[in-house]
A = this chain, B = another copy of it.
Amino acid sequence: MGTITKALGLLNHFSLNHPEIGLIQFVKLSGFDKATNHRLLSELAINGFVEQDSLTRKYRLGPSVLRLANVREITFPARSVINPILEDLVAATGETAHASLLQSNILTTIAHKEGTTHGTRVHIDPAELIPLHATASGLAVMAFAQEALTKQVLASDLKSWTNSTIVDRAQLVDKIEDTRASGFGGSNQGFENGVYGIAAPLFDKNQTCIGAIAIATPTSRQSEQLDALIKKELAKASRRITHGWGGIIPGQMEAVWTHV
C-alpha cells in the first residue's frame, strides 16, 4: 500500500459518530504505528486536510476539503444538481434516497435525504463507502459500467456484510445480468439487515456510468406497488440528474426503461 493511500485512508475514519479522532484512536483504527500515524496526520494537517483542536489535540477534517469541494462543485455541479431531485424523490416515495459516485471500485455517497414516512425509515451515514457487490447501487453501476469493473469486483474477495450478502460469484453475475435487463439494481438486506434497496444508474457526457441513485426502504414496507412507484421515480430522477450535469443516457436504457 502506498503512503498516499495510507494517509488518505485515515480520512475515511471520520464520520458522523466520530467527527474528531485522537492520535491513539487512529493507531487502533488504522493499525499503523503511532509514529507513522503522527507523520501522516502532520502532513495532512500542513495541507489542510485535517486540523487539530487547539485544546484537545484531536484531529478533524480540515478546511481544504471544503475549498476543493467548492471548486469541483462550481466547475462540475453534482450535489447542486442532485439535491433538489433527491427532495422530489423523497416527496414522491416517502422513503430515504441517496446518490453515490464511482471511485475506482467502490461508491462514494455524495448526497442523501431521509424519508418522510412515519416511524421507521432508513438512516444513512454520509461518510460511509458503499461496496459494489452488496448494494443495489453497486449492481446498477456494475451492470452499466465497463466490463472491466465487474471483473475487478469478481477478482476481489466479496466481503459478507449480512447473511444475505451475495458472495457467490456466479450468483453475482446472474444478479448483474438481471440488473442489465431490468435497468434497476435491487438488493434485499445485502448491506444492512432490514433494508431493501432499489437503484438506477447515472451517466456522464460520454455515456459512461459514473454512479447511481437509490432508494432504501425498510423490508417491512416492501410491496409490489411501492416497487413500481420507486422504479418509475428512479428512472425519472436518473434522467433528470444525468441531463442536469450534461450527461447522456445510453440508448439501451431507454429500451429497458420503457415499461416503467
Residues of A bordering B, CB below 8 Å? 2-5, 7-9, 11, 14-16, 19, 39-40, 43-49, 51, 53-55, 60-76, 78-79, 101-104, 106, 108-111, 126-127, 204, 206, 208, 211
Contacts and interface: CB of A to CB of B under 8 A. Distances in A.
Contact of A61 (B9, B54, B72, B111): B72
B65 A69 contact: yes
Given A54-B208, A66-B78, A108-B67, A60 B48 contact: no
Nearest to A14: B71
Nearest to A11: B68
Contacts of A208: 54
Would you list the 8 A-B pairs with minimal beta carbon distance, nearest first? A48-B103, A69-B69, A19-B75, A63-B101, A61-B72, A54-B208, A65-B68, A4-B43
Indicate the member of A2, A16, A66, A70 with the most B CB atoms within 10 Å. Answer: A66
Contacts of A204: 54
A103 B71 contact: no
A130 to B, nearest CB: 11
A9 to B, nearest CB: 7
A169 to B, nearest CB: 23
A17 to B, nearest CB: 9
Given A2-B43, A208-B54, A108 B74 contact: no
A103 to B, nearest CB: 3
Given A51-B103, A103-B47, A104-B48, A110 B66 contact: yes
Given A15-B71, A66-B110, A110-B67, A60 B46 contact: no
6 contacts: A19-B72, A48-B108, A61-B76, A66-B78, A66-B101, A66-B110
A60 B75 contact: yes
A110 B14 contact: no
Contact of A103 (B3, B62, B72, B101): B62
A14 B126 CA distance: 25
B127 A47 contact: no
A204 B55 CA distance: 11
